[in-house]
Structure 1
């Protein structure tokens, strides 16, 4: 059965990459959550997508220029009444000890290389005993390979915007157990072939009904979606089939 990963939490209805959005995704029944990590000026792992805080908070500037105590004062819930801080990755992993969710951690180190990020993420995951419930992904494939070398027991998955020839061969060559392509970048045939070669396929960001139906029909490994509830509702139609 195709798993449902909540992209930045239940992001269609709640402030993305906040503890609230992750909690609501869990309540709704998601199989996993997807989140993004960056480093503060003093080397703390925080959960935020953009390199700048401007879009998702009431602050301005680059994540890398804030001290942890400064970035925690910002409000990451522009949509709602309740103030939500930018979470520390440790907070999310702490919450994971109380549930069975999987977690896809995307390393946001394409624009800024964030020295030591891989070690910090892996040390934290291992300290919480969550290695078997984490997938580390990134558009920076050098970072993916480095993560695998540091901790071969933690699954890695390169992210792609465009199609790639025989993606299972590439994945095997970098020891990745999964790939996370843009949902429009791979045909059904290539997805099925990739899975048949032992590589998990988790397309992003799957929000339209037609796209959800497409991936549930071929029993894709997982989808990464902003709308957990819609995805669960559509998946039910496929669960009833023999």
Structure 2
């Protein structure tokens, strides 16, 4: 069965990368989460997609220039102002602690392609081990040096390269860096690539799959997982297909 991973939580209906979005994704029936990690000035791991806080909070500036204390004062509701209460930017600790009480898997994307956060891999791995989640975490990044470094530090935690463009025989590349899967943009995951990868024992989890036609296609080809903003819609389509 194709798993449904909620992209930044239930981002279609709730503020992305907040505890609210993660908890609502679980309620909507997602099998797992996808989230992004950056690092504060004082070396704390926080869950936010952009290097800057401007798009998703009422603050301005780079995450790396904020202390954790100041970052937690920001309101992460951004375009969901109708919500009754302020949402904080969560720490990775907060998410992993909550996750350990669920059965969900989690794809942690290291956001270190633009700003090279020194020591990020070690810190993420230590936290994953602390919460005994090594068998439920996938570490991904567009920075493939970083995920290879992660694998060398913790071969028990799965890694997956993110691919924004199509790659020739991506399953061979994944095997070469000891990844059990890869996460391509959905346009870079045509049926033949998905099928050939699965036949080679390599999992394919495309992002960000929101179109109904693309969800239907990927479920049909038995893709390993889809990363989507709308886990409820994806679940509905998956159930409809399996009932046919």
Could you tell me the TM-score, scaled by structure 1's length?
A: 0.98
Match of 1:45 in 2: 45
Q: Work out which of the residue numbers 224, 239, 243 in structure 2 matches 1:240.
A: 243
TM-align CA RMSD? 0.6
Question: Take 1:97 and 1:191, find their aligned partners in 2: how far apart are those partners?
Answer: 30
1:89-135: CA deviations, max 9, x gaps?
A: 00000001211000000000000010000000000000100000000
Question: Take 1:214 and 1:82, find their aligned partners in 2: how far apart are those partners?
Answer: 38
Match of 1:203 in 2: 206
1:184-217: CA deviations, max 9, x gaps?
A: 0122011110011111100000001000001000
1:59-116: CA deviations, max 9, x gaps?
A: 0000000001000000101213320100000000000121100000000000001000
Question: Take 1:234 and 1:169, find their aligned partners in 2: how far apart are those partners?
Answer: 31
Match of 2:168 in 1: 165
Note the residue ranges of structure 2 that are not aligned, 5 or more in a row.
none
Question: Take 1:61 and 1:192, find their aligned partners in 2: how far apart are those partners?
Answer: 43
Note the residue ranges of structure 1 that are not aligned, 5 or more in a row.
none
What is the Cα deviation at residue 239 of structure 1? Answer: 2.0
Structure 1 runs (4+) deviating above 4 angstroms are none
Question: Take 1:131 and 1:192, find their aligned partners in 2: how far apart are those partners?
Answer: 27
Could you tell me the TM-score, scaled by structure 2's length?
A: 0.98
Q: Work out which of the residue numbers 84, 91, 94 in structure 1 matches 2:94.
A: 91
Question: Take 2:123 and 2:243, find their aligned partners in 1: how far apart are those partners?
Answer: 43
The answer as to 2:3 corresponding to 1:18 is: no
Match of 2:68 in 1: 68
Q: Work out which of the residue numbers 106, 111, 114 in structure 1 matches 2:109.
A: 106
The answer as to 2:183 corresponding to 1:180 is: yes
Task: Report the 3-state secondary structure (helix = DSSP H, G, I; strand = E; otherwise coil) of the residue aligned with 2:135.
Answer: helix
Match of 1:216 in 2: 219
Match of 1:149 in 2: 152
